Structure formats: structure tokens, C-alpha cells
Structure 1
Amino acid sequence: MLVKSLKFAHAPARARARPTLALSLAAALALSLAAAGAVHARPTKRACAAAYERAQGLRRDGRLLDAREALIACSQPACPPAAVADCGPWLAEVEQSLPSVVVAAKDADGRERLDVRVLVDGRLLAATLDGKALPVDPGLRTFRFEPATGQAVEERVLIREGEKNRAITVTLGAPAAGAPAARRPLASPPLATPAAAPLATPAAPLATPAEPSIPPLAWVAGGVGVAGLAVFAVAGALSLDAEADLRATCAPRCAADDVRAIRVQHAAADIGLGVGVVALGTAAWLYLTRPAAARSPQPAAARSPQPATARSPQAPAARSPQPRAARSPHPPAPRSPRAGAGALRPSLRPFIAGAAAGVEGTF
């Protein structure tokens, strides 16, 4: 009896312990599964290193979208600190350089359409248009716009690195076939306007005659003439002074050397005078006979053309007889020659006769 009572006493305790044990086993199993999932979710060192290397190559190739995904993977806190220290700043640089576009589509009537799928180089960019900016890799890209109804449109667009929120608008479809074409107004025939008489061309201003240039030999001859006159003046003054001194002191018994020196001075003065006169005369002759500069021809006065009058093909225009000019019984007076046509040019020529020299000519 005692054993039976003990059996009945332990039976409720066992019944109560079974649910508790089941709950404990279930909780332990859930914790182990969560821990295993967390371990599998964490990136391994090998995955972080692969993402680190892949991000650098993608940045060099200009594939910034894929590079951004790789940098996000290698900048996780579970990755090695060295990889996180590099991937974090690189991710900021890629976000700054990644361009974006804002796509808009309109139909032929100008109404905006949203049921358009956008693909870039065959890769889906947007299923529908919502006005938001869409990131795109830089470079020459092919945009394909596929509306829900209608024909697709493709456009090649150059996307620049760092360009944000670039607007791209495309027109889909063609104008409706039943729309009436705008009628153009009939062009009225041009009215016949009388031909305006051409204006008389104003006469060109008369060209002023150019001053003839002085020959270089005239300057040379003039310089030689001035030098000769200077020798004449200096030598003559010295010889006269010496001659007056001799007359006052030793005349008529002066030394032969002193007299000879005075004669040499006299001769030098005479030669200087002759050379000066001849040179100056030559310079004057070269100046007066220098060739005149070419003059530009004077254009004749422009005649104003008379407007042509229309003639009827049936009746030719009658010509009015013009009376002949009455002949004068007196012969016409001879015309005076033009100024300068037959004018005589001055003629100069130097001469030397014994101790005398000079210039002779006609004017």
C-alpha cells in the first residue's frame, strides 16, 4: 500500500516536468540555428579580400555601379580593419563620381508618359518612370525606352563622370494619322514693280599729284659745294691776313717761303671756290631736272544712266528728229596747250674757263 501511494505521488510531478523539458529543448535549438545563420551571414576574410580586389579593378574600368557594391561588401565591420580603412573612403569617392540621370518620356502630343521601361546597355535601369534620379556608369551609353504601348526608342548618350541629375527627355510615337495637315496659304503672284533707275556713280576724287623726290646725287653735290665754299672762306681769310702782315713788316723784301705760303693759300681758296660753285650748280641742275612722280589717271565723271522706257511691241517708239547744229562761218580758235605739256625745262651745265668757273644754262 505504501508503494502504491508513492507511485501516485510522483505521477503529477513527472507530468509537469515534460512540457518544461520540451520548451527548453526548443529554445536551445532556436538559439543554435540563429547562431549558425549569423555565422553564415557574416562575410569571411576571404570574401572581404575578394571584394577589396574586385572594387579596385572595377573602378579602373569605369564600372562604378559594380564597384560600389564591392566596396559596400568590403567596408562591413566584420571585415579586417585594414580593408575597412580603405573601402570606406573609396566608397565615398565612388558615390561622388557616380553620375545620375532623370528620365522623362512624352508622346507625340506632348503628354508625359510613365509606363516606360528604361534599359541601359541591355541592363534594366527602371521598370517605370517616377521622376527619381537613377545612377548610371559614365561613358557612351545606349538608352532603350520601351513603352507599354507603342514602338521602342533607342538613343546614345555620353554620360560624364560626376554629372548629377542630368535630364534626358525622349519623344515616343509619331503624330496621329487622322490629324489634318495644316494648309499653307497660296502664294500670290508677285506684283510687277517698275525697275528703279540705277543711281549715278559718284565721281572719284581727283588724285593729287605727288611731289617728285630729290635725287641722292643732288644731296651729294650740294654737300660738296658747301664744303668747297667753306674751304674758300677759310683759306681766303688766312691768305689775306698773312698778306697784310707781310705788307706791314717786310714788303717789298720778304722771304720767298712766306710769299710762297701765301700763294698756296690763295690757290686753295680759288680751288675751293671753283669746286663749291660747280658742285652747287650741279646740285641745282639735278634738283630742277629730277623726274616727276607718276600721277594716277583721273577717272572720268560717271554718267547717270537714263531709265529705259518700256516699248510696246505693236507701235515702235517714234524718234524725234534732231536739228543739225548750225555751222559757224568762222573757223574755231586753236586750243591752248595744256599747262606743262610743252613747257621748257631749265638746262644747266657747269663750265671752267681758265681761272674762272661757273654755271650757265637756259630757264
Structure 2
Amino acid sequence: MTKRSVLVSALGCIACLFAPSAAAQSKEQCAAAAEQGQKLRDEKKLVETRGKFLLCASESCPAVVRKDCVNWLSDVDSRTPSVVFRAQTAGARTLSAVRVIVDGQRLIEGLDGRAISMDPGMHKVRFESEGRAPVEQTVVINERERNRAVMATFEDEAASSERGSSRERDSSASSVPPPPAGSSGGGGRTAAFILGGVGLLAAGGAVYFGITGLQETRDYHDGCAKTKNCAGSDVDGTRTKLLLADIGGGVALVSLGVATYLFIRSGSTPKNEARNTPHIALSPIRGGAMAGIDGAW
């Protein structure tokens, strides 16, 4: 036997040893593809399902597995919908240099009118064209729907450029800082009005307690003081009212004084606004004083 024949025989034996292993691996792949395809089909991922059933329907797979996969493949093909993506300008000019992104994944780099198989369900579609604003839409694709047209309408380039310039102008305008809040003196006037209100309340209380206390004092002098049988609680109540009148008068004087100072200090008020600003006034009356506020609104 020559060396060449010995070498051929050895290679043949090696091939025989590995043949059963390769055949067993092919069966495992076919079974796995059939199982995965059924799972994907139940999840409505029909496009991916078709690839699995194509694998297990090949001639290299066992007849039992191949027969089932062929039937399943026919059913999936009949249920898988297809879509034709189209794009145009607002002037109805057809566009082809358009990228289509479906559910965040690039699907098409250019439109050529061909139908694309898609899984049924809801999808977010984004059309992109150079120099134009992208167009986004949500579509629902039904099972067995064939050649569903999904159209995107882009703005004309001139309109898109004009809108971009408008957005830039709006952005520039919004970046201008507003004038300082206190530049018009509104904060000082607001504080003056608040203190003026406090002063008015204090003045009103002082007038009330003062008049009441003085009236009770005269009644005591004309009544129980002559007989010296005045009740201590009544005398203490009258003294408290007179004390509250003194305190209220002090608070009113300080509040109105500070309010007047703040109002004068915020003197940048325009003339027409100054005429409409309320004014606080105190007027003496018999037995007390009267506080008031006047102005035009």
C-alpha cells in the first residue's frame, strides 16, 4: 500500500468519526429554532419568527420538525403585515433621500417604494431628511395588513429656515434679563402701604380706647367719685383702656411716620401714578381723632 492510499484512508476514518456529532448538532439547532420560533410567534414578533421557522424548515432538519416548521412558516407569512414608507414636501414633491427610524432603530436609509415587513402593533416612526425638521408619528399596524402606506410630509426648506430663524430670535429675546424688580420704587411703596395700614389700625384702636376711657373717667367723676364708692375693677378697666389708647397712638405715630418716609424715598413714581396713590390722613375731631385714606383707583 502506498503512502498516498494510507493517507486517504486515514482521512476517511476521521470524517466517519466526526459525522455523527455534526448530524446531532444539526438536529439540536433545528429543535431550538422551532422552539424559539413558537415563542416569538406568541409574542407577535412575526418578522423574527419567520427567520426561525425558515431555519427549522430546511432540508437538513429532521422530517418531523421540518413538516411542522413549514406549516408554521406559511401561517406566519399570511399574518405578517407590510408597510410602504413614503415622504413628500408640503408642495407634494416626492422625496427619496429620507432615513426611517422605527422604535429607535434605523430601518431604511433611503425610500425606494418597496414594502417592508413589520411586526403588528403600535410603532413610533421618525422620518429624517437633510436640511429639514424631522417628522414623527405613531402608527398602528394590523395583522395581515398588506402594503400599508405611511406618509411623511416635510416642510419646504424655505419655511423650515424661516421657522428656525424665528426660534433664534425668540431665544435671543428671552435671554435679555428683565429690569430689576425694585427699580421703579414699587417695593418701597408696597412697604409704605403696609405700614400705613398698620398705622391706621393702631390709630383707630387708640381713638376707640381713648374716647371710651375718657368717657368712663368723666362718669366716675360725676358719679361714684363723689361718694368715694367706685369699684376697683371698674377703675382698673378704665386705666387699661387709657393705657391701650396711649400704646395705639404711639404705634400709629411710628408706623405712619415710617410709611411716609418710605413713600417719599420711592419718589421715582410718575406723576400720573402719584395722583392715583392712596394718601393717609389724620383729622382731629371733638373728643378724639379721625383717620382716613383717600385716593383714586
TM-score by length of 1: 0.38
TM-score by length of 2: 0.46
